[in-house]
């Protein structure tokens, strides 16, 4: 994807997971903008690495994440929200001034929120998709440390429609697969079960043989193969060229 290229599509024709994978694979810097019935959603990329997202509606409130991470109490959140609603101060600013959360704790929560927002985008069903050049800076935005592979994999696994992964899985049913050279840096990013599945692909295997060899649910395995393929991490060979059992 060049710096001049504009990507625009109806999400009913181009699933967000596909556009996301294309953006990552092209190492693009910029913002994927997705319009829904409420407003504008933005997913941020820096040289193909997802940097998080902001949503048109509040789905992952910071206060709830702070409580889930045991950084503040319900009472502290209620008191901070009163001040937040009565002043122009951000919730994080109130918590910092009260001494209830540290700079590092707030940054951690913002990273979690941005990561969850990015994954939530995979659930959008309708709207228009546009790619705009240039990374947008937001005051409340903190880059997420989540890797490209895991963002794509978890997004498709948890939110992607069956139609997103089915075309690839149908193709793999009649072919054999192995990891490409591009996958060399992916393995350490994966959880143990996914690492096991990926390492079995160091030699060509059939999808059915792979599924019987790893402790992954079919949907998770399919999403992993989809994510690897979107990032250029799979070699796909005609079955006639690869004997079974290799």
Q: pTM of this prediction?
A: 0.75
Average pLDDT over residues 117-146: 70
pLDDT in tens, 158-194: 766 667 788 888 888 889 999 999 887 788 878 889 9
Radius of gyration of the chain measured on its C-alpha atoms: 20
Phi, psi of 102 (to 5 degrees): -90, 165
pLDDT in tens, 44-92: 888 888 888 888 888 888 889 999 999 999 999 999 999 999 987 888 8
pLDDT in tens, 184-208: 778 887 888 999 999 999 989 998 8
Question: What mean pLDDT is reported for the chain?
Answer: 83
pLDDT in tens, 10-49: 777 777 888 888 888 888 888 888 888 888 888 888 888 8
Element housing 109 (H / E) = helix 103-120
Phi, psi of 45 (to 5 degrees): -130, 140
CB contact burial 165-198 (16+ within 10 A = b; e otherwise): beebbeebeebbbbbbeebeebbebbeeebeebb
Nearest Cα to 42, choosing from 32, 28, 29, 27?
Answer: 32
CA 160 to chain centre: 11
């Amino acid at each position: 994807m060049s710096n001049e290229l504009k990507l625009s599509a109806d999400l009913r024709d181009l699933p967000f997971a596909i556009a996301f994978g294309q953006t990552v694979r092209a190492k693009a810097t910029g913002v994927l903008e997705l319009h829904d019935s409420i407003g504008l959603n933005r997913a941020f990329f820096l040289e193909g690495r997802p940097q998080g997202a902001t949503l048109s509606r509040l789905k992952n409130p910071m206060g709830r994440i702070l409580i889930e991470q045991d950084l503040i109490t319900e009472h502290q959140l209620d008191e901070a929200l009163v001040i937040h609603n009565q002043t122009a101060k951000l919730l994080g600013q109130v918590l910092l001034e009260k001494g209830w959360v540290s700079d590092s704790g707030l940054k951690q929560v913002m990273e979690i929120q941005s990561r969850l927002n990015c994954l939530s985008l995979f659930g959008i069903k309708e709207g228009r998709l546009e790619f705009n050049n240039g990374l947008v800076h937001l005051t409340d935005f903190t880059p997420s440390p989540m890797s490209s592979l895991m963002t794509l994999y978890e997004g498709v696994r948890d939110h992607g429609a069956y139609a997103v992964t089915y075309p690839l899985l149908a193709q793999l049913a009649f072919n054999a697969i192995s990891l490409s050279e591009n996958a060399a840096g992916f393995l350490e990013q994966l959880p143990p079960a996914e690492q096991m599945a990926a390492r079995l692909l160091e030699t060509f295997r059939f999808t059915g043989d792979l599924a019987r060899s790893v402790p992954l649910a079919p949907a998770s395995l399919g999403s992993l193969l989809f994510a690897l393929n979107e990032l250029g991490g799979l070699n796909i060979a005609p079955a006639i060229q690869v004997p079974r059992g290799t």
